[in-house]
Chains A and B, each alone.
Chain A
């Protein structure tokens, strides 16, 4: 589904990034993902959902904590348990999974920039 090259590329952004499937869903775990300037915290564990039986969003970026930024976002997913951890996500639609993982992360992070 995703090439070693694509995973290597996302490791440039976040060292230790790894593919983590759970059930029918596929995630990339992003440890200590550095967030755009002005965000609090400045880095947080994140989880990029690439594939899911859910049809709410084509892809989603979950965070281990709610992130404060200059933009008012709709944090509509709170304490969602995935891979035995609680996650938080804002609503950010139309990011289809037909791009490289790093592109997807960049597109989701654009909401915070």
Chain B
């Protein structure tokens, strides 16, 4: 009888130890989960802050990103993309109105009328030359 009681008590104590151990583990898991949640919130906050700073940085440099490069008479100019009158491009490069402006399109020199409108997307190459040549019977 005594033996049975001792055995029963041992089992009870063992179960209680196990229960305590499980409770301790659960407690630890809960603490870790809370720490993870806290860290995640911090990460989210840092990500939002990073996003905000990137937006500010992007906004700060936006005018430069919008500019595109074109070449006129072997000189590079930065302009906003869009439509330009040929006369405006001449003015930009300081080309006299009397000179003809040509655009290099797929390797072909293409004369541009002064009243023509050119769409600038970036990378366009222009060159000017005086209208001097003429046919003869020499």
Q: Which residues of A contact B (CB under 8 A)?
A: 5-6, 8-9, 12-14, 34-37, 56-57, 73-74, 76, 90-96, 99-100, 102-111, 113
Contacts and interface: CB of A to CB of B under 8 A. Distances in A.
Main secondary structure of the interface of B (DSSP, over half): strand
B131 A35 contact: no
A105 B108 CA distance: 11
Interface size class of B (residues with CB under 8 A): 20 to 34
Contacts of B111: 110, 113
Interface in B94-108: 100, 102, 104, 106-108
A28 to B, nearest CB: 15
A56 B136 CA distance: 11
Interface in B117-138: 125, 127-138
B74 interface: yes
A31 to B, nearest CB: 12
A92 B133 CA distance: 6
Contact of A91 (B125, B129, B137): B137
A5 to B, nearest CB: 6
B138 A91 contact: yes
A24 B102 CA distance: 32
